[in-house]
Structure 1
Amino acid sequence: MMRASTTWLVLLVLLAFAWLGLPAWPADGAPDLQRWMVYLDGLYLSGYLAIGLMSVAMVLALRMPWLERWVGGLDRAYRLHKSLAEWGIGLALFHYGLRLLVKELRGSGLMVKPKGLASQAVEALRPFHGTAKDWAEWALYLAVALVVVALWRRVPYRWFARLHRLLPATYLVMVYHSVVFLPQGYWQGLGWPAAGLIMALMLFGSVAALMSLFGRVGLRRRVAGEVLEVKQLALDVLELRLKLAPGWPGHESGQFGLATFDSREGAHPFTIASSWKGDGELRFAIKALGDYTRNLPTLLKAGDAAWVEGPYGRFVFADGKPRQIWVGGGIGMTPFLARMQELAQLREAASSALPTAEAPALLAQQVDLFYCTRKGDPDITRRITELAAAAGVNLHVLESTTQGQLSVERLMAMSPQWREASLWFCGPARFGQALREGLLAGGLAAGDFHQEAFEFR
């Protein structure tokens, strides 16, 4: 929901500014002139919106901490990045298609360019028109192909990641095209705010594109590490224990890191399955969901080098509610395992008369955890049960093959004080959407439903 509303907000802001620089319609209302002015308005508006949206998308890809806080987590920043990029490239296609359509209409005599109409081109940039047109045309073809690759899930992630690195280059070509063809109306009178905004966006977007091309994104948040243990668990889950070099700032339970075990494969996002103890160690619990994760058990061994970038994410349980309901679907249990470890450590510290300042509030919080799995493994269920007991969490284990799936009605019945709680969900997107719609319809505030949008493609 936030992604859609934010996308529309960015679109409307850009549209309002773009309107300021449109050429004024002459007093002569001849039909040919009217059609031509409609064409120019469509051409300039679509071009302005396209490069503006792509510029914001490029900046969102920088993984900047302040941007992450603003949109509610890196996972949401990437979803918004994807949405804005798709809109931007779609509008660029419309912009290009409109130009081709009018060219064909003029060739067939169905549309006429009025004589004596003042040119909107900036005279000093006319020598660059040829290259700006040709390069942008090929860049658009490539950008569309790369978007198709990104949306086609059959393409392996490693190929998607490698090809996706070409998009910043196509963006820079489109910036060149936009600067050359920005109408002179944007540099005059009321058009100045529009020119200022779009030039600023293209400047920041170009810096982001260059950082991406030269591998500088997230570099300062990247820490070297070593694999200490590779352990294959049941249900196709791999547990990795890593030791990180000094420089890792620590993480909150529920956050994730971008882990690189092979530079050719690139970084993959994995939720951190352990709380931070300050000893440099962290664990990942990785579900075999694709070719890469399925082969990790045979590719990794103790002593292998690793890089971890982060921490990222705002799925950190910080809302101050007296009650929380956690719902973990399959490997979506990972953030809750880290949180339970943290609570268990706080309870242990409190029992030894060494409580932290935050311990009383956290330990007084009532938590219901629903562990939803198709068919559980006795060893994994036992480990979760023991950890929940140590953390003081009320655990509900639901195996869909024998007990059915967790529904909204069932959750309300098993946790009758749900209206006083916040709900934290991590698992299949459709499952989460069904719970969200049902609980919000029942009276839960939208701000009290938290869902990990763990999708980077």
Structure 2
Amino acid sequence: MRSFGVVIVIIALAIPAYWFAQLAPNRDAEALFSQYLGVTALVAMGLSQLLATRMAVLEPIFGGLDRIYVLHKWLGVGAIVAILLHDTIDADMEALGRQTGLMEFAETLGEISLYGILILGVLTIATWVPYQFWRLTHKFMGAFFVLSALHFIFIGKPFDLGDPLAVYVLAICAVGTLSYLYTLVPFGVLQGRAAYEVASVDKTGDTVAISLKPLRGGISHRAGQFAFVSFVVPGKSEVHPFTISAAPNADKTIRFTAKALGDYTRSLGELAVGMRARVSRAYGHFQSSKRGSCDVWIGAGIGITPFLAWSGRRDLVPRPTHLFYCVQSKSNAVGLDELEAAAAADPNLTLHVVDSTVSGRLTADQISDAIGGVGKGVNAHFCGPTPMRKALKDGLVAKGMRRSAFHYEEFEIRSDLGLRKFSGWLIARGVRRFSKTASS
């Protein structure tokens, strides 16, 4: 994630503190702090909605889309924590006068948005919830954000809507609302306008490679990028991201390689030549290194897909490169013939197939022995499961590789981020709050 983007987010979250500090004299400090938490939650949610748009302008600021999604989720988690604290700490100020019916309505909107965001937040970090159900319910997150914005507008507060603080928060809310509406536009209207048709469908074990040829101009991409695709076929129109597993070519034919991990990906093998598809622009900043004495590429299972694209470009192998392909069974290794051909044609590329049923899981020691030692001139690029990534990174760094020389993309756009305990706390907190409201 790029530091510049993180700094922008931090500044955006910190700006309200300046105006709240000016309101502090002669105000109830506890209530003022509660209102500050509510405003901070609104800003975080507004920024989170903006990041969810996948607009092209965001990647140069924040980095690859995988990092943007991580920031999107952390902003959401931070907003939930701030909302819960805001709800727990009394925000009422006697100096604001008698509560009106409009203010009571605003409180009701706040309660509805609290429970809605709480439930959807738990569904987001609870990765055991089916993807299709999560994706459907997650669309309502923006609606609860809008209710939170209305709560802010109508609730009693120690400043006017024309004051700089309110104008700033309302501007963020407007950006967030417009971003939410943008995400509701059907795929194929603003995104996914590139029309393709299926050129071939090749199955290898539980993996399917789908080649698509453009019906018009097609998309441009760099080796290792991914795109969102929707097939214009009943039951397969759901939008999913897949790595483009073939190097760029003149006719702009692209290939997606997917492993059967759920009902949707299992059904991709039923696609037939001639079926239509819509494809988004290409995303991602997973690129080969430009410096160093040796490159190490590590693809675990379906994580081999970006390296299938890289191996098809001789210009991406300018120095000795070792590709470690980790598989559970060599007979089901997708693209193995293609990789062997690329290694045979390029003296800089050495392929190592690591069959876990024969030699166990890949270790940093095995990599070091294969490349003749790990030093500061070695760059590593990894695509695979998170636990494996962490183990190999720690092992290679311990052997002398620079930590910054280990490159990767998030293998799963949706993850619990280590927040299973937190989700339990959220559920318990929501139940207590609901019980309190029901009994009052």
State the TM bucket, normalised to the shorter chain: 0.7 to 0.9
Aligned to 1:70: 61
Distance 1:5 1:280 in 2: 33
Q: What amino acid maps onto 2:13 in structure 1?
A: L
Aligned to 1:161: 135
Deviations 1:394-425 (A, max 9, x none): 11111122112221232223222542122110
Aligned to 2:207: 237
- CA change 1:386–1:209 in 2 (3 A) is same
Aligned to 1:351: none
Matches within 5 A, 1:388-403: 388-392=343-347, 393-403=349-359
Q: What's the CA shift for 1:444? A: 2.9
Q: 2:370 aligns with which of 408, 414, 429?
A: 414
Matches within 5 A, 1:31-110: 37-99=28-90
- CA change 1:218–1:332 in 2 (3 A) is farther
Paired residues of 1:256 and 1:272 also in contact (CA < 8 A)? yes
Q: What's the CA shift for 1:368? A: 1.1
Distance 1:216 1:175 in 2: 27
Q: 1:254 aligns with which of 224, 238, 251?
A: 224
Moved more, 16-25 or 406-415: 16-25
Q: What's the CA shift for 1:149? A: 2.3
Paired residues of 1:21 and 1:186 also in contact (CA < 8 A)? no
Q: 1:276 aligns with which of 228, 248, 257?
A: 248
Distance 1:445 1:241 in 2: 37
Q: What's the CA shift for 1:20? A: 2.8
1:295 partnered with 2:267: yes
Q: 1:365 aligns with which of 313, 316, 319?
A: 319
TM-score normalised according to structure 1 size: 0.80
Aligned to 2:238: 266
Q: 1:433 aligns with which of 377, 390, 393?
A: 390
Matches within 5 A, 1:185-196: 185=159, 192=164, 194-196=165-167
Distance 1:172 1:255 in 2: 33
Q: Which runs of 5+ in 1 are unaligned?
A: 27-35, 104-112, 344-358
Q: What amino acid maps onto 1:432 in structure 2?
A: R
Distance 1:449 1:315 in 2: 11
Identity of aligned residues (%): 31
Q: What's the CA shift for 1:173? A: 1.2
Distance 2:4 2:54 in 1: 21
Paired residues of 1:227 and 1:243 also in contact (CA < 8 A)? yes
Q: What amino acid maps onto 1:251 in structure 2?
A: H
Q: What's the CA shift for 1:146? A: 1.8
Q: What amino acid maps onto 2:269 in structure 1?
A: P
- CA change 1:186–1:385 in 2 (3 A) is farther
Secondary structure (helix, strand or coil) at the match of 2:219 reads coil
Matches within 5 A, 1:121-270: 128-181=102-155, 183-185=157-159, 192=164, 194-215=165-186, 219-220=190-191, 222-234=193-205, 236-261=206-231, 262=233, 266-270=238-242
Q: What amino acid maps onto 2:249 in structure 1?
A: K
Paired residues of 1:120 and 1:185 also in contact (CA < 8 A)? no
Secondary structure (helix, strand or coil) at the match of 1:65 reads coil
Secondary structure (helix, strand or coil) at the match of 1:219 reads coil
Aligned to 2:24: 24
TM-score normalised according to structure 2 size: 0.83
1:384 partnered with 2:339: yes
Structure in which a larger fraction of residues adopt helix: 1
Distance 1:239 1:443 in 2: 37
Paired residues of 2:228 and 2:239 also in contact (CA < 8 A)? yes
Q: What amino acid maps onto 1:296 in structure 2?
A: L
Aligned to 1:107: none
Distance 2:113 2:342 in 1: 53
Q: What amino acid maps onto 1:386 in structure 2?
A: A
Q: What's the CA shift for 1:340? A: 0.8
Q: What's the CA shift for 1:322? A: 4.5
Q: What amino acid maps onto 2:34 in structure 1?
A: L
Q: What's the CA shift for 1:451? A: 0.7
Q: What's the CA shift for 1:13? A: 5.3
Q: What's the CA shift for 1:200? A: 2.8
Secondary structure (helix, strand or coil) at the match of 1:131 reads helix
Secondary structure (helix, strand or coil) at the match of 2:266 reads helix
Deviations 1:12-42 (A, max 9, x none): 752453253243233xxxxxxxxx8242133
Aligned to 2:407: 450
Distance 1:379 1:400 in 2: 12
Paired residues of 2:354 and 2:362 also in contact (CA < 8 A)? yes
Q: Which runs of 5+ in 2 are unaligned?
A: 415-440
Moved more, 39-48 or 176-185: 176-185
Distance 2:188 2:177 in 1: 13
Q: What amino acid maps onto 2:74 in structure 1?
A: S
Q: 1:118 aligns with which of 73, 81, 95?
A: 95
Distance 2:155 2:398 in 1: 49
Deviations 1:241-267 (A, max 9, x none): 111232433111100111112576521
Deviations 1:298-320 (A, max 9, x none): 3x222222111120111122534
Distance 2:4 2:355 in 1: 36
Deviations 1:196-238 (A, max 9, x none): 543332221111012123337982453121112222112x111
Aligned to 2:433: none
Give the length in aligned residue pairs: 408
Secondary structure (helix, strand or coil) at the match of 2:254 reads strand
Distance 1:384 1:42 in 2: 59
Distance 1:239 1:211 in 2: 31
Deviations 1:46-71 (A, max 9, x none): 10111111111111011122212322
Secondary structure (helix, strand or coil) at the match of 1:259 reads strand
Aligned-pair Cα RMSD in Å? 3.0
Deviations 1:340-368 (A, max 9, x none): 1122xxxxxxxxxxxxxxx5xx4532211
Aligned to 2:425: none
Distance 2:160 2:378 in 1: 51
Q: What amino acid maps onto 1:159 in structure 2?
A: F
Q: What's the CA shift for 1:450? A: 1.0
